[in-house]
Each structure stands twice: as C-alpha cells, then as structure tokens.
Structure 1
Amino acid sequence: MTHSFSRRAFGLGSFAGALTVAGLPAQAADDTAKAPSQDATPTGRTICYVGGYTKHGPPGGNGDGISVFEMNQKTGILTHQTTFTDIASPSYITLSPDRRFLYAVNEISDFDTTHSGAVTAFKVDQATGGLTKLNTVASGGADPAHLSVHPSGRFVMVANYTGGTVGILHVMADGSLGRMVDLIHNSGPRMPDRAADNPPGNFAISDHSSAHPHMVKTDPGGKFVLVMDAGLDRVYVWTINLETGKLTPAAVPFTTMTPGSAPRHYVFGADGRKLYLLCEQDSKVVVADFDPRTGNIAPKQTVSTVTAHFRGSTLAAGIVLSPDGRFLYASNRLGDSLAVFQVAKDGSLTLVDEIWTHADYGRSLMFDPSGSYLYVANQRSDSITSFRVDKTTGKISFTWDFTPIGSPTCFEFLTIPADPAGVSPS
C-alpha cells in the first residue's frame, strides 16, 4: 500500500478478547427520496461494513475499528448502527463466499515477535448483521494490505505489503482461522520509483525498495491464485492445492508490468477470460487476456485513469466492474477523481467520463447489491461519498451525501432477508 509517508509500527493496545456487536435496529433512515434505476433493489435490509485505519497502525488513522451501517435502499444514505472497536487497523475486509463470516487484515507490524501483522475472523449474525470475533492469528508478514477467501471457503489468503509475503491460512469448520499452510516470499530486481509513462507533472512515487504484494485473489474458477506485487512490478500466478493449500508456480510464473508502474488491484471480466489490472504509479488500467487453463496473462491494451487534460500528481487506487460488466470504474488519489470506462464486446476500454470525488484520497470503491449506488472510501477527508449510477450510460452523479467516518479504506455489503426466520441456521 502506497503512501507519501513511511509505514510506522504502532502498539496493539487491548487487541485481544472477544466482543459481540448487538443486533442492529430496524431501518430508520428517510424513505421519501427515490433514486432512479432501482429495479434491482434487494428485498430485506442492506448492511454496509466499513474498515479503515486506527491509531494502532500505519499511517496512524482516525478510525475506531469496523463500522456497521444500514443502507437506505431508496436514497443510498448510510446510517451508522455500531462500531466494532476491538481491532487494530482493519484496512481491508472481506466476506466469505457463503456470507457467514467476515475476515479483516490488521495492518500492523507488531502483532508478535516476528514483526508480523494479523488477520481477524468474525461470525456474522444472519438475522442482524452483527459481528462476533472468533480469533486473531499472525498474517506471516508486516502490514497486510489485502485478503480474500478461496471460493471453496477453505482458505484465507493474505498479502503482506511491507513483509513482502503471501500467506495461506486454513479456515476451520466454525469459520475461525487455523494454521498457516503456506508462506511465499517474493523477490526480484530493484525497480524504478516512477514509471516512464507517468501523467505529466506526477511527483508521487510508489515504494519499489522490495517486494510489496498488494492484492491476492483467485481467478473465478478458483484454480489459480494471482498476486499483484506493487514493489516488483509483477503479477504472479500460482496454482493452489485444494487439499493442502500449497501454492505452485504456474507455467508462466509471473507477468512483468511497466517498470515503476506498481500494479495494485485487479478485477476479472464476467467470463473469466478478461483481466483488468490497475497500476497505481502511472494511473493506468492494463486490459489482458487470461487463459483459465494455464493461467497465462497476455496484455492487450493500456488506458489512463485520468483524462489527457490532467496535469499533476496522482495515484490510482481502486477498481470495480458494474454488476452487468458493461462499465468499469477506477479511483484516483491526489487527483481525487473517478474514471468511468465503457467495456466493449471484446473487453477493451474507452474512457467516457471523469468525475470529482468531492473528498480527499479516495481508496476502495464498491457498488451496493442493487448496483444503483457507487460508494468511495475517502481516507484523508474522513468520509464516504456516494454516487447514483445511470445503468444505461454508466455515468455517475454525486448524491451530495457525506458519511463521516475516520480514515475509511474499504467496504463490504450484506443483504439480510426480510424474514429472518427464513434464514438457514449459522
């Protein structure tokens, strides 16, 4: 994860211990306003979990833990319900495939004597969305920046940014985290701090002093594990043994990106054969063909996340596809903008709009379950901003709704059925 400051170590404080978040009250937000394109509005209630930086991790944030909001499905307004505070810097969170568990990185470097970060597991109350902590384990490296769950639900995979490692953790039957079954250490030559194809006037740099895994996740089929390494400018590909969790390099073990570009996050197209790779340092999206049989990545197109008129410093951060796969969105920090791309039938991209985030240092962005609203976590301005989505054109318009929250960085959404009695027991 890239900042203009160093990653400092902070104490955990009272990190251990279990805490249960009480059930959430019924929706109380104003239902009078009605946004367009609500045809896919889910039944029941929509819960939004928000993670971010606390004082216990770099860069020393203003957040209190994992905040729980309820989303008004008509207006998009987020109403705060409660905050789970017994956790240090949950800068990335994810739900399990069955939505019964939530996992969070603890982006710290002093969890144990090995200067490791940590990963925390929670059980999700299927009737309320409330969280109960299950356990916390070492991540296998300092300052974990990303994690994901294998589609089988059997393994949690974590990218340790400063530690330069990728860890595979076994998931127990009750959703808690077991032992680490594999730990990969990336290595490679020193890369330049800046890319040659930077936007004009870009003084921002990405840390290329060593390996910095920034994202780890599988392809849609769950056969391959892909890792974006922002320090080595590589996209690594492994196969995963579903019995042991061990990783084996693919036939082509990595794809080299533009030197200095700092590949950060990626998203697959709906068919699993197109791959969109976001590079933070030069603010580019690389469109690539992905072979689901071999794991081979073949770049085909590179497009900028800022318009040709832009001048100045910028670092791309988040990337997401619309639910129908017709549009792609990317966030730009420093430049504080969102790029909107149209996706052609062949998977290629065309920039169709760029809009101000109305806040500072937008990180992750995510659609609500209906795809009607797009939310942005603005780390430095301590707020979430939201945008209505025109599902025909892909363009977005600011709702003028600001949700205050300290140092937010990431989201997850959960839909709770209207009839809790119909929820299968967890």
Structure 2
Amino acid sequence: MLTAMTMSVAAATPLLSGTPADAAPNRPGDLLYIGTWGQGLVYAVRFDPDRGTMTSLGSVAQVSSNWLVTHPTRPILYVAGGEQGGYIRAFHMDDASGALRQLDEITVEAVPTGSGGLSYIGLTGKADALLVADFAAGTAVTVPVGQGGGLRAVASTVQDVGSGPSPRQTGPHPHHVIIDPSRRYALVADFGADRVFVYDYDQATQRMSAGTPDGPGFHATAPGSGPRRLAFHPDGRTLYLLNELTADIEVLGWDATHGVMTTRQVLSTNAADHTGTTSAAELAISRDGRHVYTSNRGENALVVFSTHPATGLLTERQRIPCAGVTPWSFALHPGGRWLFVANEASGSVNLFSVDRATGRLTDTGTSVAVPYPDCIAFRTREQGPGTGPS
C-alpha cells in the first residue's frame, strides 16, 4: 500500500510567451489542474478568462495522475493514478494559492492486476458518483460520492470482454465511461474489445450491471479501430464516438428506449494526404451542440466539425496545428471562449481562442510548460467557495 503523498507548492514560473506583471498568481481567476503522464505530479495554472493569460503555479502535488476531474460545486479534485491497484484520491483545492491537500483515497481493484492503468474518471451529471475506466483490469467501476464530495466504497464493477487485431488489443481495455441523457444506461468505450458496451445504470444505487443473462448490449466498431471517447449531442439522440487507432469519428443514433446504437456516419480525422502514424485522442462538443472538436496525435492537429441542426451529422470546418507535439487531450473552458491543449510530448499546455459563432480555433501563442501533460480540469471563479467532503 502506498504511503501518504507529500504535497508541495512551487513558486510561480513565467509563461513561455510572457505574462503581464499584474497577472499575479493571487489575482482572482480560474485554476487549471494538469495531470502529468508517468511523472507523479499534478501542476496548477492560474487563468484569467477575461484577458486570456496563464501563470504557472508549478507542481502542487506529488501523485500519479493519469486522469483528473474537479467537483462542479466544491473545491475538490479527484485524481486517478496509474499504480497497481487502481488508486483514486480526493484533494482539497485552495482557491487562493492553488495548493492541494489530500483528503481521501481508495482503490478500485479488489485484486490488483499487477499493472496500473486507470485511463479515465468522470462525474455523473448529479456529481453523486465517479465513473472509472480501468484500462489495465478491463473493468468499468462506479464510486459513489458523498454530499460533501468524499469518496465512498466501490458500488459496482463490470468486466468487459473481447479483443481486437492490434497487438495493443489482446484483451478488453475500457477508455471512457459516460451516462446517457436518460440516466438509464452507462456506456463504456472499450479500446481493446472494439466495442461500446451498454450497461444498465441504477441512479439510486449508482450501480452498473449487465442487465441480462447474455451480458451487456454493445455497438461493434470496425476491427482494430480502438474506441476511445464518447460525447452526446444535447438533443440526447445523437452520440459521437472517436476511435483512436483508425483516427475516425462515428456519428451514432441513440435509442434510449432500448439502449441501442446505429451507425449513421463515419469521418476520418486524418487529412486526405496523411501518411505515417494514425492516432486520435480527444473529443468534445460545444455546450450548444453546434461544434465538435477532436485531436489527432498522428498529425499533431486539432480538427473542428460543425453539426447539422436537424440530424447531428458532421461537416469538417477547420484543421489547425495543435501548437505542440502529441495533443494527448484538450479541454473546453466552461465559458466557451477558450480551449486548452495538453501537448504531451512537447511538454506544454497551449491556449486557443474559440469563435463561438463558427467554432473555429485560433492559436493565441500563449502556453505554459508542464512535463508530459495528459489531462486538464478546471476550478472556475464562478464555482465559488465550498466546504470539505463528508
């Protein structure tokens, strides 16, 4: 078992592109928390959404951070680790300094798999449970969250099955878990099985289950596609699936009555003249559902699509360099004006402005240095002060 992690707060470091002197770290603004792949650190950045400036606060926690997410109303950060056992930790966030203080810790594997690998954690819409993808164990897990944000015991664990033709697909590897808009189903994008599994979900108990003796329903993708990310359109009838290995995006019709998906469109995120490595990574949709964003690691690019207002089908609108190397993930700022890209191989988080009318991105030239960034979460000033977990 791990010993308690040591917390540290580093002195502020300058922006790569330069920050105005009055944009001090203690200036009221938002906080960005950034995980680091394989580095055992969480970094913090102060962001001014009015001026579009970032100031690094340096490392604020020494902890494995494969993925992280913030509570929507309380100053709590949840961090998924990569160690054996599947660790999730909860930290209190200090709004003034960005410092983190560990509050809670659980493991999600009853029997350690022998290798770490939580690939995702996210919160349900009510923030009453964490949804966990355990890449190494091939399982999806739910962890109830207390009213104050504290972690409860694991409520359910479901085991995916299957494999694919790629050497990286020798068994199931869940990469993303979401709840559908009806809140009746949990969908698991499984990279290793070339499936999106559909499990029954009970809101009252926060439990996932197969639902039938024959196992969960599923949507089968093309062999070797490697499903990675899912996002629902606000209409609740359209689902977008990003496949990592084939770097394409599928538009799926969603039938919430029966928990069934149907393929309606498949588009590549590669350029027409693409050669070499093929790898897609991140997917997001604008709050109004008009624009879909993806990252392509094989081309170090961001690709923007518009959605048809009636059908949800996609049309490519923009392809732009990601301002770094290997865009592992990105995050749309809650205000809709900004997009932050975690360029893992080049060690930077780069800021893009978003035209909310057209969805188009513009590289602002602003960035902060972070070693191997893999995930970005927000603590916005609109969230306000909160209390600790219970």
TM-score between both structures, scaled by the size of structure 1: 0.80
Where in structure 2 are the equivalents of 1:15-414 lying within 5 Å?
Answer: 15-17=3-5, 19=7, 29-30=19-20, 45-54=29-38, 63=39, 65-88=41-64, 90-109=65-84, 116-125=85-94, 130-140=99-109, 142-188=116-162, 190-193=163-166, 207-249=168-210, 253-345=217-309, 346-414=311-379
Name the CA distance, whole Å, in 1 between partners of 2:178 and 2:130. 9
- 1:157–1:167 Cα contact (<8 Å) kept: yes
For 2:83, the aligned partner's letter is I
Alignment CA distance shift 1:138-1:405 (3 Å): same
- Between 1:66-75 and 1:254-263, the stretch displaced more is 66-75
- Work out the percentage of aligned pairs sharing the same amino acid: 28
Residue 328 of structure 1: CA displacement? 0.9
Q: Which runs of 5+ in 1 are unaligned?
A: 1-11, 34-43, 55-62, 110-115, 194-205
Number of residue-to-residue matches in the alignment: 371
Residue 124 of structure 1: CA displacement? 3.5
1:39 matched residue in structure 2: none
Name the CA distance, whole Å, in 2 between partners of 1:211 and 1:64. 26
Alignment CA distance shift 1:164-1:425 (3 Å): closer
Alignment CA distance shift 1:166-1:390 (3 Å): same
Q: Which runs of 5+ in 2 are unaligned?
A: 13-17
1:200 matched residue in structure 2: none
Once the two structures are superposed, what CA deviation does each residue of 1:348-405 show, in whole Å capped at 9, x if it has no partner?
A: 0011221111211111111122211211101111111121222222221211222110
Alignment CA distance shift 1:327-1:250 (3 Å): farther
- 1:129–1:414 Cα contact (<8 Å) kept: no
Alignment CA distance shift 1:402-1:153 (3 Å): closer
- 1:216–1:226 Cα contact (<8 Å) kept: yes
**Does the residue aligned with 1:179 lie in a helix, a strand or coil?**
coil
Residue 209 of structure 1: CA displacement? 0.6
Alignment CA distance shift 1:282-1:144 (3 Å): same
Coordinate RMSD, CA, aligned: 2.8
TM-score between both structures, scaled by the size of structure 2: 0.86
**Does the residue aligned with 2:127 lie in a helix, a strand or coil?**
coil
For 2:258, the aligned partner's letter is T
Name the CA distance, whole Å, in 2 between partners of 1:272 and 1:396. 26
